[in-house]
């Protein structure tokens, strides 16, 4: 009668190392007391998901704030879904958010002593552990075809029992070693399954760092740990990698809660200490009145590139996400006049337990606050960098005269409560057209939105009068006094109070006369401070715009 030892040898003759060898190669990390080792471990299946940014941000701050390590591991075991190059994209995008890892996978090669950091390069490590598990009788080759598994599932459904490969339904669980060897020698395809000793009627408890104690049914399913392509499944790779990479806290999506007993079961079988788990709530979206997880398929905002494309400052998204993670962060920002989440003491215990609805309004609010507090030079540099990538015409405009563009950005900026009208770089593009002659001409051609309650002839007269007679090159007060004077000449009120008191006595209000100038100069009836705009445009341009607008009436 053959032994498990022989079976292990037949399956993995190339594996000569043992678990002890691995323990030696990946020793306990020498870190100060309390330092946490966390990781971001995405599959290279596409671009960075907003939810992934959320969990990676959390893992990052936990490591940073405890003086530990944040590393990056590429979980590329699903060869069918792998998208070439997306691992590198993920790293680039994370980098855009300032979330850089200390250790792990890099496009240029691994960095760190606990690698390789790409699961496809760790085959031998998994096999070493599996070989040992087979020796101990805790794993076995299984010969079920997909059809066999379908049949098992169908029986289970008919019998109204739980689906899964367990107990009497685990067809090949109780094959003898001889039978297994025979099948393998006959060339029957196989996978390796973990042999669970769990009892479904018992409970496993574990303490989640966010939710506290969670009690679940014991795992009794013999899960697949090595697929027919020779790569491990997530369940097994997680246990092996996080053990040998010495991770101390796993922060992962809450969808993993139900499979945690599988992981704990395997940690126990290997006599390894399980890490702490922090199951992060998903970010949700309202869809026809129902909450659901943000979906990469349906929701553009599920990809972080959506925000980057529009020109949100990465920090704005981060600040928003941190405010979801720890709601006291928002108050902290106000109290500390800072939007740097690295300085904020993050706490897993303060995390909310249910998934937050993604709130674009709030993101916009934070984004405006952040841009408003940002020095004009920084806004310029960032807008320019964004435009270079996303908007060629805008880039052209910026670089044709950076000093001029800088002045535009400085409007009403250096004051206690600066303007807050830009949430993202594309807003700047949209709101500054009129500062550029060719674009202003386009606006003029489309027709200026003068208030229709006034006779065109009156508007025209006023515009010409203003062009010729208002004060140029003077301070705001003097200039505005001259405007009032001209307004009065045309029987417009020179203060809004006066007008309100007796509207019928006047041709129009002070606001109305200011609006004529505003519309003529900017093509809209909403704009920042007129005097500052004129200052930037220059007297000649102002005069010519007033006159041209008048001519077109």
Partner RNA sequence: GGCCCGUUCGUCAAGCGGUUAAGACACUGCCCUCUCAAGGCAGGUUCAUGGGUUCGAAUCCCGUACGGGUCACCA
Interaction with RNA in 198-257: which residues (CB under 7 A)? 211-212, 214-217, 223-224, 227-229, 231, 233-235, 254-257
* 101 vs 395, beta carbon nearer RNA: 101
- Cα separation, 229 vs 120, in Å, equals 11
- Cα separation, 438 vs 444, in Å, equals 10
Interacting residues with RNA between 346 and 385 (CB under 7 A): 350, 352-357, 359, 361-362, 364-365, 368
Beta bridge partners of 312: 424
43 touches RNA by CB under 7 A:
yes
Interacting residues with RNA between 111 and 150 (CB under 7 A): 144-146, 149
Least distance in Å: CB of 41 to RNA? 7
159 touches RNA by CB under 7 A:
no
What is the chain's Cα-based Rg?
33
Stretch of 58-66, 97-105, 127-135, 156-164 lying at the interface with RNA (CB under 7 A): 156-164
Least distance in Å: CB of 208 to RNA? 8
552 touches RNA by CB under 7 A:
no
Interface with RNA (CB under 7 A), residue total: 87
CB proximity list for 304: less than 8 A, separation 6 or greater: 47, 48, 49, 50, 53, 93, 97, 317
Please select the residue that binds RNA; options are 17, 89, 421, 498, rule is CB under 7 A: 421
Please select the residue that binds RNA; options are 159, 417, 502, 504, rule is CB under 7 A: 417
Q: Supply 211's token pair.
A: 């939710």
Q: How far is CA 41 from CA 49, 80, 170, 233, 341, in A?
A: 13, 18, 31, 14, 22
Least distance in Å: CB of 20 to RNA? 27
Q: Can you give 197-262 as a three-state secondary structure string? A: CCCCCCEEEEEECCCEEEEEECCCECCEEECCCCCECHHHHHHHHHHHCCCCEEEEEHHHHHHHHH
Interacting residues with RNA between 442 and 471 (CB under 7 A): none
* 144 vs 269, beta carbon nearer RNA: 144
41 touches RNA by CB under 7 A:
yes
CB proximity list for 141: less than 8 A, separation 6 or greater: 7, 11, 134, 172, 180, 183, 184, 190, 191, 192, 193
Other Cβ atoms less than 10 A from the Cβ of 321: the count is 24
User: What is the SS3 assignment for 437?
Assistant: helix
- Cα separation, 73 vs 105, in Å, equals 6
- Please state the φ and ψ torsions of residue 74, each to the nearest 5 degrees: -90, 120
Q: x-or-dash pattern for RNA, window 511-530, by CB under 7 A?
A: x--xx--x------xxxxxx
Interacting residues with RNA between 296 and 355 (CB under 7 A): 323-324, 327-328, 330-331, 350, 352-355
* Strand (E) or helix (H) holding 109: none
430 touches RNA by CB under 7 A:
no
Alpha-helical segments (H) within 66-159: 86-96, 123-135, 146-158
* 18 vs 364, beta carbon nearer RNA: 364
Judge if the upstream peptide bond of residue 332 is cis by omega within 30 degrees of 0.
Answer: no
Least distance in Å: CB of 43 to RNA? 4
Interacting residues with RNA between 50 and 109 (CB under 7 A): 75, 77-78, 81
Least distance in Å: CB of 546 to RNA? 14
Interacting residues with RNA between 254 and 283 (CB under 7 A): 254-259, 282
Least distance in Å: CB of 260 to RNA? 8
Please select the residue that binds RNA; options are 510, 520, 537, 542, rule is CB under 7 A: 510
Least distance in Å: CB of 526 to RNA? 4
């Amino acid at each position: 009668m053959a032994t498990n030892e022989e079976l292990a040898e037949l399956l993995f003759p190339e594996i000569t190392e043992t678990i002890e060898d691995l323990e030696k190669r990946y020793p306990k990390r020498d870190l100060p007391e309390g330092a946490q080792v966390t990781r971001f471990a995405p599959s290279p299946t596409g671009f960075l998901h907003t939810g992934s940014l959320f969990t990676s941000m959390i893992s990052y701050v936990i490591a940073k704030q405890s003086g530990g390590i944040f590393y990056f591991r590429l979980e590329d075991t699903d060869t069918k879904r792998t998208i070439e190059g997306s691992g590198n994209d993920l790293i680039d995008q994370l980098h855009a958010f300032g979330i850089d890892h200390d250790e792990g996978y890099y496009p240029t090669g691994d960095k760190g002593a606990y690698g390789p950091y790409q699961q496809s390069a760790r085959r031998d490590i998994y096999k070493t552990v599996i070989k040992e598990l087979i020796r101990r009788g805790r794993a076995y080759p299984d010969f079920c075809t997909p059809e066999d598994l379908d049949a098992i599932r169908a029986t289970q459904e008919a019998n109204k029992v739980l689906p899964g490969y367990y107990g009497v339904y685990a067809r090949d669980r109780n094959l003898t070693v001889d039978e297994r060897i025979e099948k393998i020698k006959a060339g029957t395809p196989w996978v390796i399954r973990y042999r669970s000793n769990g009892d479904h009627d018992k409970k496993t408890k574990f303490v989640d760092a966010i939710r506290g104690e969670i009690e679940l049914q014991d795992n009794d399913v013999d899960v697949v740990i090595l697929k027919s392509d020779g790569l491990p499944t997530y369940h097994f790779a997680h246990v092996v990698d996080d053990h040998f990479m010495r991770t101390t806290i796993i922060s992962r999506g809450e969808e993993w809660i139900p499979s945690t007993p599988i992981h704990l079961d395997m940690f126990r079988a290997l006599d390894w200490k399980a890490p702490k788990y922090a199951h992060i709530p998903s970010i949700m979206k309202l869809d026809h009145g129902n909450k659901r997880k943000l979906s990469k398929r349906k929701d553009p905002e599920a990809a972080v590139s959506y925000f980057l494309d529009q020109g949100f400052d990465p920090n704005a998204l981060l600040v928003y996400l941190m405010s979801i993670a720890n709601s006291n962060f928002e108050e902290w920002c106000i109290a500390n006049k800072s939007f740097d989440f690295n300085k904020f003491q993050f706490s897993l215990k303060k995390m909310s337990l249910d998934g937050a609805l993604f709130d674009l309004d709030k993101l916009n609010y934070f984004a405006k606050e952040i841009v408003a507090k940002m020095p004009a030079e920084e806004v310029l540099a960032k807008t320019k960098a964004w435009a270079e990538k996303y908007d060629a015409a805008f880039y052209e405009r910026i670089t044709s005269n950076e000093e001029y563009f800088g002045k535009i950005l400085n409007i009403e900026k250096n004051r206690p409560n600066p303007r807050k009208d830009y949430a993202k770089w594309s807003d700047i593009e949209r709101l500054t057209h009129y500062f550029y002659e060719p674009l202003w001409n386009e606006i003029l051609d489309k027709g200026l939105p003068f208030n229709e309650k006034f006779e065109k002839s009156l508007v025209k007269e006023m515009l010409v009068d203003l062009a010729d007679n208002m004060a140029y090159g003077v301070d705001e007060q003097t200039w505005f006094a001259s405007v009032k004077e001209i307004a009065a000449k045309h029987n417009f009120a020179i203060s809004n109070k006066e007008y309100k008191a007796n509207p019928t006595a006047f041709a129009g209000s002070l606001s109305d006369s200011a609006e004529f100038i505003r519309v003529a100069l900017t093509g809209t009836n909403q704009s920042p401070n007129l005097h500052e705009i004129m200052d930037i445009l220059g007297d000649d341009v102002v005069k010519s715009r007033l006159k041209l607008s008048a001519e077109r009436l």
